[in-house]
Amino acid sequence: MKNLLYIVFIFLLPGVATAQCPDNINFSKGVLTNWSAYTGNFNFSPPVQQFYPSGAPAPGGTNGANFINEYNLTVNGITVNTSNGTDQFGGFETIPIINGYNYKYSTILGSTTVTDRSSGIRGGYIRGIQYVIDVPAGSPAVPYTITYAYAMVLENGSHTTSNQPIFYATVNSPNGKINCASATYNLPTTFTGVVNNNNGRLDSVFVMDEEFAKQQGFSLSPVLSPNDNGNNGEGRQRVWTKGWTEVTFNLAPYRGQQVTVTFEADNCVPGGHFAYAYIALRDDCGGLQISGPAPACSNTAATYSIPSLANASYSWSVPPGWQITSTTNTNIITVMPGSGSGTITVAADNGCTKLNTSIPVSVSPPTIAGTVSPDFEVCTGSNSSTLSLNGNAGQVIKWIASADGINWTDIGNANKLSYAATNLTTTTRYRTLVQNGVACKIDTSTAAIVTVYPKSVGGTINPGIIDICLNQNKDANLILSGKVGSVLNWQFSSDNTNWTNFNPAIRDTLFSIKNQAAAVQYYRAVVQVGVCPAEASSSSKVSLINVAFPKAIISPADTTICYGDTATLTTTIQTGTAYLWKNLTGLSDPNNNKLPSTPYTFNAFASPKINTIYPISISNTGCPNPLIDTFRVNVRPPILPSAGNDTFIVAGQPLQLMITTAYTSEEYSYLWTPSPGLSSNVIYNPVATLNSTIDSVTYKFFVTDNIAGCTETNSIKVKIFKTDPDIFVPNAFTPNNDFRNDVLKPIPVGIKQFDYFKVYNRYGQLIYTTTISGQGWDGTLKGKEQPLGVYVWVAHAITYTGKIITRKGTVTLIR
């Protein structure tokens, strides 16, 4: 259970002194002294009971007794609680704070025990405590109140209600029981019928009236009963709890008399289900006291309460402009304060006693949380940042801190307007919880951020030692790695001790050595993280070799060629003694690596199929560093244009032409020739419409890659039939594998949709069928050559004008 922050408000009736309660009635001595006690078990025959009188020392009496065992057991049946805890079934605290009153002690009556293991007798255990109160003499008009709080844990036995586990609070005067001050608490059940038990006896069946129990404040615990001796078919989740409730009664009518208060918790009558209850009593008997904020907060609902009077009705009044936002016939009300001050009054009446009281109230302004400032930047480790809260209205309850802005930790520092954050290692946000009086809501200030930077790490320079040649301005690079922070600048030194910054500053992790004149030079980088001290990297020693660095001009450094073409790579070596190509794929060098003199110019020829780089390494004797330069040859992909196979149309039939390419690209342009009959000669998909004056036409088309100017070409032949749309089939074919007239194919002309072509033998057997124009019969059936003779064919199609045509005929197979 979470730790809760309770704020206690105790206000006395004006002009009425706090009445002294009987000694130790609230168990403030931590023992049962002044109380009497008893334990017993009604499942013995006859029932037994053990009494522990007040005035007698423990263990036979209650003087000095902190606990008393269950009857005939070594299990505690009555225990005084001097420290707080949490009930295992109900989750409520074992010593309560109720209606603003902080109880310091409580007593628990009972346990979860239901069986005497030594004797096997069912555990119908009873436990009770009593206090005989000598009510002070005086006027009956002056209240003398006893206020107690109780909480219960009852195991449902599904018995008749009167036989269920039970808790009693009884008050007796010399004239008998005071009914309006006494109460009985148990779990309600409902009769549902009878069943035959295992012995053939009829048993009554009762079930828990859960809705009525919940209306009385009970709830079912998720914790299972520790006992496995429930009724047949009964589950283990059967423990019900009722949290702390406060009750008061007035003994003023019995002034000068003795009144006995008794609390008792009993297991069920059959003895198989347990009961235990907590009891706590106030140590003030001077009448009602209203608990609640004075002053209240102007924008915050407030709660005012009194201990409940058994079976009482209540009447409340509040100052003008204040509003009661809850029901009023209860011992607890919720109020929205107005702008002015005044008095809150309450009267409680249960027929046998009437109590009333009041408290003065006023209004305070709401909480203003304010702002924590300033923001700081520090380096991890030893650091200190003093933060202050400004602009607040209210007191600081505590400071809180967070590393992620989501999860916050209490760091204390209550009532202080400043906080010193020291020795931080992670970035942290700081806020305060502020409250302007106990009635106002707690609010959270805006946060200040202390940004913590990791320590700077200079890193390592690679290579640590390097030689360069005269006038070397390429491939003389130093690389910084392993740093933490940003590069502020690079530095140079002649002695590795005294360093000079570059101006302008160089902030990259790669440093190119240029124009070094000294024989030996050292280089390093300076790195910094935030506000942390800057750190220098390791240094690199650079030695100058007194030999010229190779020098050359390459052209073009980058070039683009069409697929299948060749790029000319030109190199002019101005300083050097030899050269070497690093990639020979698709490369031809007629110069054959010869370098007769300098300057010297030669050409190489590259014909790669894909994008390729060609590094060339040029050396100069005596200089350990070659000059490596690179030609990059970009190759445009092949176009491979096609408009499909040659085709047939009838005169006047529109023919959709379409160029396809290996790669779809918006960077292509198109040209068809000749252009007559085309809807356009510069698009990839023109429509050709040809008349009967033309027998055939061959269209040649060009596709140009506009990026590199690459052009590829192809053609398609269109034959024009001077007939109506039809399907033509030869009257003979010779499937003898001479690649001439080997397949019987229908020739659809002017056809939009080709449905089928079928071939039958003279017996009417279907031996071939297709729905694909351009396919035909090869003279076989299931791989077996068919005999010479005449065969029948049938074709079906739809013309481009939408007309359905069916054609039949014969064909002679000749071998």
Residue 367 has pLDDT above 60, yes or no: yes
Closest to 70 measured CA to CA, from 319, 279, 327, 275: 275
10 pLDDT higher than 50: no
Amino acid at 777: W
pLDDT reading at 604 higher than 50: yes
When mean pLDDT is compared across 283-292, 317-326, 336-345, 404-413, the lowest value belongs to 283-292
Instruction: Tell me how far apart the alpha carbons of residues 415 and 402 are, in angstroms, rounded to a whole number.
Output: 20
Q: CB–CB of 94/83 below 8 Å?
A: no
Between the CA of residue 384 and those of 179, 376, 606, 764, what are the distances in Å?
A: 68, 10, 67, 106
What does the alpha-carbon distance between residue 569 and residue 18 come to, in Å, rounded to a whole number? 110
With CA atoms as reference, report the closest residue to 219 among 111, 91, 96, 86: 91
Evaluate if residue 4 carries a pLDDT over 80: no
**Judging by DSSP bridges, how do beta strands 540-548 and 465-470 pair with one another?**
parallel
**CB 639 within 8 Å of CB 654:** no
Q: SS3 of 676, please?
A: coil
Across residues 16-28, what is the average pLDDT? 82
Q: Which residues does residue 462 pair with via DSSP β-bridges, in sequence order?
A: 479
- At 159 the pLDDT is 87
Q: Which of 108, 22, 98, 4 is nearest to 66 (CA)?
A: 108
3-state secondary structure of 253: helix
Mean pLDDT rounded to a whole number for the chain: 91
What's this model's pTM, rounded to 2 decimal places? 0.56
End-to-end CA separation in angstroms for the chain: 101
Coil/strand/helix, residue 529: coil
Q: Are 733 and 661 in contact (CB under 8 A)?
A: no
- Residue 47: pLDDT band (50, 70, 90) is confident
pLDDT tens column, 59-82: 999 999 999 999 989 999 999 999
Q: What is the pLDDT of residue 741?
A: 87
Alpha helices for 334-478 (secondary structure H): none
pLDDT of residue 123: 80
Calculate the alpha carbon distances from 560 to 454, 588, 609, 636, 810 in Å: 49, 17, 12, 7, 60
User: Binning pLDDT at 50, 70 and 90, where does residue 12 land?
Assistant: very low
Strand order in the sheet with 578-581: 558-561, 627-635, 612-619, 578-581
Which residue did the predictor score with more confidence, 172 or 230?
172
Q: Report, as an integer, the average pLDDT of 643-670.
A: 91
pLDDT at position 42 over 60: yes
Mean pLDDT of 290-301: 89
- Full DSSP string of 496-526: SSS-EE-SS---SSEEE--S--SSEEEEEEE
Summarize the confidence of residues 547-571 as an average pLDDT: 96
Q: What percent of the chain has pLDDT over 70?
A: 95
Query: What is the pLDDT at residue 230?
Result: 55
Q: What is the pLDDT of residue 357?
A: 92
Q: Above 90 in pLDDT, residue 193?
A: no
Q: Judge if the upstream peptide bond of residue 730 is cis by omega within 30 degrees of 0.
A: no
Distance from C-alpha of 696 to C-alpha of 652, rounded to nearest angstrom: 13
Q: Where are the beta strands (DSSP E) in 53-188?
A: 67-69, 76-81, 97-98, 101-102, 106-110, 125-134, 145-155, 166-173, 176-177, 183-186
The pLDDT score that the predictor gives to residue 14 is 36
Q: Is the pLDDT reported for residue 141 higher than 60?
A: yes
**Residue 195 confidence (pLDDT):** 66
Report how far Cα 737 is from the mean position of its chain's Cα atoms.
Answer: 73
**Residue 15: left (phi > 0), alpha (psi -120 to 50), or beta?**
left
Q: Report helix, strand and coil shares of the chain as percent, to nearest 5.
A: 0, 50, 50
Q: Which string of DSSP letters, residue by residue, matches 650-667?
A: ETT--EE---B-SS--TT
Distance (Å, whole) CA 807 – CA 106: 110
Range 740-769 average pLDDT: 93
Asked if 393 contacts 367 with a C-beta cutoff of 8 angstroms, the reply is yes
Compute the average pLDDT of residues 659-672: 91
The Cα 35–Cα 279 span in angstroms is 13
| Residue of higher predicted confidence among 707 and 93 | 93
Of the candidates 289, 326, 329, the one whose C-alpha atom is nearest the C-alpha of residue 312 is 329
The stretch 320-334 carries a mean pLDDT of 93
- Cα–Cα distance between 397 and 432 in angstroms, integer? 7
Average pLDDT on 137-159 reads: 92
**370's torsion region: left (phi>0), alpha (psi -120 to 50) or beta?**
left
Token output for 665: 């690209």
Q: What is the DSSP string of 180-233?
A: GG-EEEE--EEEEEEEE-TTS-EEEEEEE-HHHHHHTT-EE-SSPPS----STT
Q: Is the pLDDT of residue 736 over 80?
A: yes
Give residue 197's pLDDT. 61
DSSP annotation of 742: -
Q: Output the CA torsion sign for 100, 106, 110, 111.
A: positive
16-25, 244-253, 288-297, 621-630, range with greatest mean pLDDT: 621-630
Lowest mean pLDDT among 215-219, 240-244, 412-416, 652-656: 412-416
Instruction: Please give the average per-residue pLDDT across 567-589, as a whole number.
Output: 96
Q: What is the pLDDT of residue 9?
A: 30
**455-482: average pLDDT:** 95
- The whole-angstrom separation of Cα 432 and Cα 418 is 10
Q: Are strands 732-733 and 804-813 parallel, antiparallel or unpaired?
A: parallel
Name the maximum alpha-carbon separation found in the chain.
Answer: 143
Closest listed residue to residue 728, CA positions, set 803, 807, 649: 807
* Other CB atoms within 10 A of residue 805 CB: 17
Q: Which range, of 129-138, 461-470, 734-743, averages the lowest pLDDT?
A: 734-743
CA distances to 286, 325, 353, 589 from 313, rounded to whole Å, are 20, 18, 11, 113
Q: What is the mean pLDDT of the segment spanning 666-675?
A: 93
> Is the pLDDT reported for residue 478 higher than 80?
yes
As a whole number of angstroms, the distance between CA 419 and CA 784 comes to 101
Give the pair of three-digit tokens for residue 805: 């045509």
With cut-offs at 50, 70 and 90, classify the pLDDT of residue 766.
very high
- pLDDT of 181 > 90? The answer is no
Q: Pick from 154, 160, 125, 127: which is nearest to 47 by CA?
A: 125
pLDDT at 686 over 80: yes
* pLDDT surpassing 60 at residue 18: no
Question: Mapping DSSP to helix (H, G, I), strand (E, B) and coil, where does residue 423 land?
Answer: coil
Instruction: Give the pairing of strands 600-606 and 655-656.
Output: unpaired
Compute the average pLDDT of residues 559-573.
96
Contact 485, 379 (CB under 8 A): no
What pLDDT does residue 5 have?
29
Name the percent of the chain lying above pLDDT 90: 77
Q: Is the dihedral of CA 55, 60, 63, 66 positive or negative?
A: negative
Length of the chain: 815
| Omega prior to 270 cis, within 30 of 0 | no
Q: How far does Cα 351 stand from its chain's mean position? A: 58
Q: Considering only CA atoms, give the Rg of the chain.
A: 53
3-state secondary structure of 472: coil
Instruction: State the average pLDDT over residues 268-291.
Output: 91
- Please, is 316 exposed, middle or buried when counting C-beta atoms within 10 Å of its C-beta (0-12, 13-18, 19+)? buried
